[in-house]
Structure 1
Amino acid sequence: MSDGTATRPAAFVFDLDGTLVDSVYQHVIAWQQALNEMGIGLAIWRIHRRIGMSGGLLVQAMMRETGVRLTPKEADELQNAHHRHFEGWTNAIRPLPGAAELLRTLTDCGVPWTIATSARRDDAAPMFARLAVPHDVPTVTREEVSRAKPDPDLFLEGAARLGIPARDCVVVGDSVWDLLAARRAEALGVGLLSGGYGQDELERAQAFRVYADPLDLLGHIDELGVRDTHGA
């Protein structure tokens, strides 16, 4: 994509939650349970609007919504409570339709890809296993960058581990925060509806294309410059 003659993107960088695995609403419920433990009430829809941010920024945003002030220790306790409640949902979370097939197709077409997620490694690892992510794919998790979304660090690091400039990558995500981070990384952003954001919201965040889910993206993969192994 850095020159007009490329026949395919150099690489894909994927978000995880809501993009490849159906886990957004489990995260929302886990955050609500964590807030309830601390006696803080916040409607589920308000929590959902912040999913995709880093945990620290999400806590700040929720505190702004409620007017509650937390000490740094309490903010850490809230994030740890979310992690604990989310663990209880892990066994119920499944890949989104077409997710594993999409990743295999990119591999078969010789297009490198990686996953860069705001999740912690211990939350993400079971999801990587369900997607059958090969061990040699250099995934990136929250602990490995200084700042998470909407900062571009995760996607920049994912591209760097592939050895490809971010401007030559397609970043696929389900939230406006993903697309903002993609823009700041100078990558091409593609949106999915599978995280609960509307098409108009994703397009306003400058998604190049918006698809329903990974299966829909796979069915239109040629629109992103990926050709099948027969060069169709």
Structure 2
Amino acid sequence: MTARADGQARGAALFDLDGTLVDTNYLHTLAWWQAMRQHGHDVPMARIHRAIGMGSDRLLDAVLGAERRPGEDGALADAHGTLYALWYETLRPFDGAAELLRAVAARGWKVVLASSAAEEEVAAIRRRLDADDVIAAATSGGDVDTTKPAPDLVEAALRSVDTDPEDAVFVGDTVWDVEAAGRAGVPCIALLTGGISRGELEDAGAVLVHEDAQSLLRHLDASPLSRPPS
């Protein structure tokens, strides 16, 4: 890790949103399931859940396979967005999520929300988190052309705060988060709140796995987020 010429810390703590800070993975699963049924696709929810964390284009390819009709991608994504928006005002941050962001910022990290969700989804989650006072930057789907597990989102988050990969840590909840961070050269702490097993997250390359945001907060000083580079 390197130091800035101006002496300021350059460490960035990048946080995924869905399933990491806010309990939304199963809401997304339900919304996608309903959207697909509206368009004649009867897909088990378990298969959809396994793809949550990918961008919509990759998710549809993974879930529908040979049944995917690219011409309807936009309609499916719009239907999912409309259905998911019904939950905006009742989204629930995980216990300790906002406190975790504040504790990380208090240690000198620049806190970045790294999401490829639509801008209105990111805004809805930020309202529920109520931690804008410590958030240095945030990404949304408009910032990337290629979604997770490609590294583009992580790289966009790094650019937003002028930080190098070796000076950053990513916190996510799916194998797609871990893989995207790894491809960008950023270590990933994974949480189990997205519904993915510890073994799968570790096999994908997570450097540390915790039960949830509250657990990571309690053990922050024993994690890669204990202190930023100087």
After TM superposition, the score normalised by the length of structure 2 is 0.91
Q: How does 1:117-156 map to 2 (within 5 A)?
A: 117-134=115-132, 137-156=136-155
Is the contact made by 1:160 and 1:166 (CA closer than 8 Å) also made in structure 2? no
Is the contact made by 1:51 and 1:58 (CA closer than 8 Å) also made in structure 2? yes
Q: How far apart, in 1, do the equivalents of 2:155 and 2:198 lie?
A: 25
Is the contact made by 2:10 and 2:163 (CA closer than 8 Å) also made in structure 1? no
Structure 1 residues 174-183 or 85-94, which shifts more? Answer: 85-94
Is the contact made by 1:167 and 1:185 (CA closer than 8 Å) also made in structure 2? no
Is the contact made by 2:187 and 2:207 (CA closer than 8 Å) also made in structure 1? yes
Q: How far apart, in 1, do the equivalents of 2:101 and 2:70 lie?
A: 42
Q: Sequence identity of aligned pairs in percent?
A: 37
Matched, 1:32 2:30: no
1:180 matched residue in structure 2: 179
Q: How far did 1:137 drift?
A: 2.2
Q: How far did 1:227 drift?
A: 4.6
Q: How far apart, in 1, do the equivalents of 2:2 and 2:171 lie?
A: 18
Q: How far did 1:89 drift?
A: 1.6
1:13-55: per-residue Cα shift (whole Å, max 9, x none)?
A: 0110000000000000000000010111000100000000011
Structure 1 residues 218-227 or 92-101, which shifts more? Answer: 218-227
Matched, 1:60 2:58: no
2:6 matched residue in structure 1: none
Q: Which runs of 5+ in 1 are unaligned?
A: none
Q: How far apart, in 1, do the equivalents of 2:191 and 2:226 lie?
A: 21
Q: How far apart, in 1, do the equivalents of 2:41 and 2:158 lie?
A: 38
Aligned AA (2:79): A
1:101 matched residue in structure 2: 99
- Counterpart secondary structure, 1:170: strand
2:209 matched residue in structure 1: 210
Q: How far did 1:118 drift?
A: 2.0
Q: 1:15 to 1:197 in 2, by over 3 A?
A: same
Aligned AA (1:215): Q
Q: How far did 1:174 drift?
A: 0.2
Aligned-residue CA RMSD (Å): 1.8
Q: How far did 1:154 drift?
A: 1.0
Matched, 1:20 2:21: yes
Q: 1:102 to 1:9 in 2, by over 3 A?
A: farther
Is the contact made by 1:9 and 1:226 (CA closer than 8 Å) also made in structure 2? no
Q: Which runs of 5+ in 2 are unaligned?
A: 4-8
After TM superposition, the score normalised by the length of structure 1 is 0.90
Q: How far did 1:225 drift?
A: 4.3
Q: How far apart, in 2, do the equivalents of 1:169 and 1:108 lie?
A: 16
Q: How far apart, in 1, do the equivalents of 2:180 and 2:220 lie?
A: 22
Q: How far apart, in 2, do the equivalents of 1:150 and 1:206 lie?
A: 13
Q: How far did 1:226 drift?
A: 4.3
1:49 matched residue in structure 2: 50
1:110 matched residue in structure 2: 108
1:205-228: per-residue Cα shift (whole Å, max 9, x none)?
A: 010000011111111111224458
Q: 1:36 to 1:226 in 2, by over 3 A?
A: closer
Is the contact made by 2:10 and 2:167 (CA closer than 8 Å) also made in structure 1? yes
Is the contact made by 1:9 and 1:225 (CA closer than 8 Å) also made in structure 2? no
Is the contact made by 2:91 and 2:128 (CA closer than 8 Å) also made in structure 1? no
Q: How far did 1:11 drift?
A: 1.8
- Counterpart secondary structure, 2:13: strand
Q: How far did 1:92 drift?
A: 2.0
